[in-house]
Structure 1
């Protein structure tokens, strides 16, 4: 729970990685919604996951650090997709698009999968994996060398 240099570094790096990946994914997303908040919201989610997932596990070795970076990436991706599919579901609900709450939840899950499919391309996936591994290594370095 207490702040460390590794948590701060992980939060900053994962926030920046999330922002960068958001810009890479933007052309593949449907342009029907407002995408102006995509990168800032994803960066905040990335910062929180960097702090909580990657930063809290720093100091266990460089090999583990890459794995923790990938874990933080997976958790960040989950929350990003959940937030944006939930936002779209709420927006549609306000326009009375759904027949009931279960229909809204089912469609939110479908949006979750659809957004994930839009984001799943080779260049983005490779960039995300290398970026998350790099974030893990730098966080591990910060944990070992913090005074």
Structure 2
């Protein structure tokens, strides 16, 4: 059985490669993502399918010739029930603005896969650099919750 630490490292490695299939394979189909803040992507997503609906909005705003998710990451805390980690992304959005972002993730696991993620990031930076301000909010399964 793969350790939770190995799953988190694989999660960030898949993000760094933009390997959506490998990224998805690490999650339970009914994974719950709680995305913090006041952006068009903020809220709760109750499945990986629901989460995939927001990926084009993010990916379409970034210049992947000059941008990298998961440039660095570090597991900050690990317990029997979950892992907390920090990830850095760095580069340029398609509009030419810098998008050097830090994310904090709180993971829980079930049966060797990710069961839930709480994601925290600089939402003001996302709104400005990814030009989320003024766009219609994404359809979510509800509001962020603990």
The two structures have a TM-score, normalised by structure 1, of 0.31
Q: Which has the higher strand share?
A: 2
Bigger relative contact order, structure 1 or 2 (CA pairs below 8 A, ≥6 apart): 1
TM-score by length of 2: 0.31
